[in-house]
């Protein structure tokens, strides 16, 4: 119990209050901005210290805090990070200073003060630390709902022309999901209490034996909330509006980090708490994931609004992440978690680049531009490299994670993986076509007015793009932290990776590939017919 995460949560929270007070007094906007930026850098340093102290093979949850909160219901204020939470907290700490620096001039036209914007971002960061590190399900729910508030204000007060519509839509969708989760949280408590554990403690709750029907209902409560948040098709239609109307910095945090709470929740809460239900619903969610990959990409190709386009690419990317999680293999799971981090960086960079372009002219229509590479080569270059990361080019970070999710899925759900792999063609199309329309061809339209990156903007883009490349070449430090946590999660649900199907004993065996017996669903576990021990395992759970 070294309270590391508590400190990590308090720094931005106290910082947010301080910046808000600065805003209320006569301090200049510049002072408020610098203060907020400084705080985010301190937060980054503390995060690095906590990461350095983390032992991947040590205790499940580290840097913990636990105090009784509402003792009548066994609610604890308890924090702790496993490898999965740690990398997402690190992502938050990396992106926050980037977002603050990127938003330097973005808040002045808003409906609230500049200082308020910076305070909101810091408070959002504090709540994100909380949501990732909560080890009490009730506390998680509180953070899950509370983090909507600063994001609501960021969109509604500093966003584009349709900001009110987008902000309220975002809020209502999340509220709807949150209510279902609340019901499930209460239901879970009832079950636990009936089994003599009147607690919300995550670790204790994973040891319960819950009947299959109850599991199914509770799973659906949690999963719907997460499917709205991460958005899976068809729960996604709030995202393009929110992503397009949010100020650039808000969009980066929304799509880069906040939405990851959904995929994080699938892996952290749905699977370990409701293992049998997870197996039942896995094929359905894989179906939604594949649909999201293909449908999200197709719709992204069809967009003319650059920010909506990036939002739809994220729908496709969340499909890959959900695919990796519900394949329930270690490669799929580790790839999914790594993708959560990588997507935050890659799509964050893409939102930043697009945001800078749009910020220059106020026009989000791709067809209003042309030949940007000639006028603003650095900006076009940043846009291009971010795009390459988005289409998961090998050498960029996204490739490693995308390939791992596909590979991890292939070993168990072959058809799902094959269909998802087709998504890489569509990804190339939406990125390169957008780049062609905006940056290539003769200089025309609004491009003429676009200035190249300023020094500040270079400092915004460069660290993110550097990480995109570094993590593509050397992802091992992250994987070393992620894999043990994913392994633990899969052990909790008794899932082992399928063994290689061709072994020495197989020589001369009859052809078994492609071997989908007519009528069996490729999405069903064990439907590939070559992993009988899994069927037995599943049978045991039924």
Q: Which 273-292 positions form the footprint of other proteins (CB under 8 A)?
A: none
Stretch that binds other proteins, among 17-25, 47-55, 138-146, 280-288 (CB under 8 A): 138-146
Stretch that binds other proteins, among 26-34, 92-100, 347-355, 491-499 (CB under 8 A): 491-499
Instruction: Please name the residue ranges forming H helices in 232-305.
Output: 238-245, 248-253, 260-265, 271-273, 275-301
Least gap, CB of 190 to other proteins (angstroms): 6
Q: Looking only at residues 455 through 474 of this chain, which bind other proteins when binding is defined by CB under 8 A?
A: 473-474
Based on the shown chain and the rule CB under 8 A, indicate whether residue 57 belongs to the binding site for other proteins: no
Least gap, CB of 329 to other proteins (angstroms): 9
CA torsion sign for 73, 74, 80, 86 is: negative
Stretch that binds other proteins, among 4-12, 82-90, 209-217, 414-422 (CB under 8 A): 414-422
Gap between the Cα atoms of 34 and 474, Å rounded = 33
Closest by Cα among 241, 236, 253 to 305: 241
Based on the shown chain and the rule CB under 8 A, indicate whether residue 524 belongs to the binding site for other proteins: no
The pair of structure tokens assigned to 398 is: 């996204």
Based on the shown chain and the rule CB under 8 A, indicate whether residue 69 belongs to the binding site for other proteins: no
Choose, by CB under 8 A, the member of 44, 432, 458, 534 that binds other proteins. Answer: 432
Based on the shown chain and the rule CB under 8 A, indicate whether residue 509 belongs to the binding site for other proteins: yes
The answer to whether the CB of 362 falls within 8 A of the CB of 301 is: no
Choose, by CB under 8 A, the member of 66, 195, 454, 501 that binds other proteins. Answer: 501
User: If DSSP states are collapsed to H, E and C, what string results for 404-425?
Assistant: HHHHHHHCCCHHHHHHHHHHHH
Nearer to other proteins, 25 or 503 (CB): 503
Q: Beta partners for 68?
A: 76
Nearer to other proteins, 185 or 285 (CB): 185
Based on the shown chain and the rule CB under 8 A, indicate whether residue 152 belongs to the binding site for other proteins: yes
Closest by Cα among 61, 50, 408, 102 to 268: 61
Least gap, CB of 409 to other proteins (angstroms): 9
SS3 content of the chain, % helix, strand, coil (to 5): 75, 5, 25
Nearer to other proteins, 100 or 192 (CB): 192
Stretch that binds other proteins, among 33-41, 330-338, 346-354, 356-364 (CB under 8 A): 330-338
Nearer to other proteins, 13 or 198 (CB): 198
Based on the shown chain and the rule CB under 8 A, indicate whether residue 360 belongs to the binding site for other proteins: no
Least gap, CB of 244 to other proteins (angstroms): 12
Number of residues that bind other proteins (CB under 8 A): 94
Least gap, CB of 506 to other proteins (angstroms): 6
Stretch that binds other proteins, among 3-11, 45-53, 59-67, 502-510 (CB under 8 A): 502-510
Q: Residues of 414-423 as b/e, b for ≥16 C-beta within 10 angstroms?
A: bbbbebbeeb
Gap between the Cα atoms of 512 and 528, Å rounded = 9
The answer to whether the CB of 420 falls within 8 A of the CB of 320 is: yes
Gap between the Cα atoms of 340 and 317, Å rounded = 9
Stretch that binds other proteins, among 51-59, 83-91, 326-334, 351-359 (CB under 8 A): 326-334
Based on the shown chain and the rule CB under 8 A, indicate whether residue 383 belongs to the binding site for other proteins: no
Other Cβ atoms within 10 Å of 466 Cβ, number = 11
Residues in the chain: 542
Based on the shown chain and the rule CB under 8 A, indicate whether residue 367 belongs to the binding site for other proteins: no
- Cis upstream peptide for 234 (omega within 30°): yes
User: Strand, helix or coil at 89?
Assistant: helix
Based on the shown chain and the rule CB under 8 A, indicate whether residue 28 belongs to the binding site for other proteins: no
Choose, by CB under 8 A, the member of 69, 165, 459, 516 that binds other proteins. Answer: 165
Choose, by CB under 8 A, the member of 410, 467, 481, 525 that binds other proteins. Answer: 410
Nearer to other proteins, 104 or 141 (CB): 141
Least gap, CB of 354 to other proteins (angstroms): 19
Choose, by CB under 8 A, the member of 59, 207, 367, 436 that binds other proteins. Answer: 436
Choose, by CB under 8 A, the member of 395, 449, 529, 541 that binds other proteins. Answer: 395
Q: Beta partners for 136?
A: 201
CA torsion sign for 347, 352, 353, 357 is: positive
Choose, by CB under 8 A, the member of 253, 406, 453, 468 that binds other proteins. Answer: 406
Gap between the Cα atoms of 329 and 405, Å rounded = 9
Choose, by CB under 8 A, the member of 38, 58, 161, 514 that binds other proteins. Answer: 514
Q: Looking only at residues 192 through 251 of this chain, which bind other proteins when binding is defined by CB under 8 A?
A: 193, 198, 234, 237
Residue 172's contacts (CB-CB under 8 Å, 6 or more residues apart) are 238
Gap between the Cα atoms of 142 and 111, Å rounded = 27
Residue 193's contacts (CB-CB under 8 Å, 6 or more residues apart) are none
Crossing angle of the two packed helices 114-133 and 4-24, in degrees rounded to 10: 160
Least gap, CB of 184 to other proteins (angstroms): 12
Stretch that binds other proteins, among 17-25, 214-222, 250-258, 408-416 (CB under 8 A): 408-416
The pair of structure tokens assigned to 305 is: 């609004």
The answer to whether the CB of 369 falls within 8 A of the CB of 357 is: yes
């Amino acid at each position: 119990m070294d309270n590391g995460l508590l400190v990590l949560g308090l720094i931005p929270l106290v910082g947010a209050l301080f910046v808000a007070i600065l805003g209320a007094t006569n301090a200049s906007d510049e002072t408020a901005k610098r203060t907020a930026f400084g705080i985010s850098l301190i937060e980054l340093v503390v995060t690095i210290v906590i990461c350095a102290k983390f032992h991947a093979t040590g205790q499940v949850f580290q840097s913990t805090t636990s105090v009784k909160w509402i003792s009548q219901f066994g609610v604890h204020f308890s924090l702790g990070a496993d490898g999965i939470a740690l990398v997402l907290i690190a992502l938050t700490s990396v992106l926050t200073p980037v977002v603050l620096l990127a938003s330097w001039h973005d808040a002045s036209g808003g409906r609230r003060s500049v200082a308020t914007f910076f305070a909101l971002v810091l408070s959002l960061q504090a709540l994100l630390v909380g949501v990732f590190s909560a080890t009490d399900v009730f506390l998680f729910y509180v953070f899950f709902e509370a983090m909507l508030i600063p994001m609501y204000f960021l969109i509604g007060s500093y966003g584009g022309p349709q900001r009110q519509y987008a902000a309220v839509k975002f809020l209502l969708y999340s509220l709807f999901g949150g209510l279902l989760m609340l019901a499930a949280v209460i239901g879970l408590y009832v079950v636990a209490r009936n089994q003599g554990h009147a607690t919300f403690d995550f670790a204790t709750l994973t040891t319960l034996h819950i009947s299959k029907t109850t599991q199914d209902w509770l799973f659906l409560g949690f999963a719907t909330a997460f499917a709205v948040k991460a958005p899976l098709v068809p729960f996604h239609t709030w995202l393009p509006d929110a992503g397009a109307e949010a100020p650039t910095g808000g969009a980066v945090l929304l799509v880069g980090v906040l939405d990851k709470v959904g995929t994080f929740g699938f892996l952290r809460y749905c699977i370990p708490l409701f293992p049998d239900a997870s197996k039942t619903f896995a094929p359905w969610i894989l179906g939604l994931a594949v649909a999201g990959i293909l449908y999200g990409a197709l719709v992204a190709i069809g967009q003319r609004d650059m920010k909506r386009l990036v939002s739809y690419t994220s729908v496709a990317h969340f499909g890959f992440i959900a695919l990796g999680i519900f394949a329930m293999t270690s490669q799929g799971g580790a790839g999914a978690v790594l993708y959560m981090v990588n997507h935050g960086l890659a799509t964050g960079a893409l939102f930043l680049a697009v945001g800078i372009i749009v910020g220059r002219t106020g026009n989000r229509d791709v067809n209003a531009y042309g030949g940007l590479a000639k006028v603003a080569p650095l900006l076009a270059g940043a846009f291009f490299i971010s795009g390459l990361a988005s289409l998961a080019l090998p050498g960029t970070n996204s490739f490693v994670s995308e390939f791992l999710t596909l590979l991890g899925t292939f070993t168990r759900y072959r058809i799902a993986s094959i269909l998802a792999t087709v998504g890489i063609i569509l990804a190339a199309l939406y990125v390169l076509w957008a780049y062609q329309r905006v940056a290539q061809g003769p200089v025309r339209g609004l491009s003429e007015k676009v200035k190249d990156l300023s020094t500040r903007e270079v400092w915004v883009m460069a660290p993110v793009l550097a990480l995109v490349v570094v993590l593509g070449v050397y992802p091992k430090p992250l994987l070393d932290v992620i894999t043990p946590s994913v392994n633990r999660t899969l052990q909790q649900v008794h899932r082992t990776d399928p063994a290689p199907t061709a072994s020495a004993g197989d020589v001369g065996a009859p052809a078994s590939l492609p071997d989908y017996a007519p009528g069996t669903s490729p999405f069903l576990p064990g439907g590939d017919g070559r992993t009988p021990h899994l069927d037995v395992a599943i049978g045991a759970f039924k």
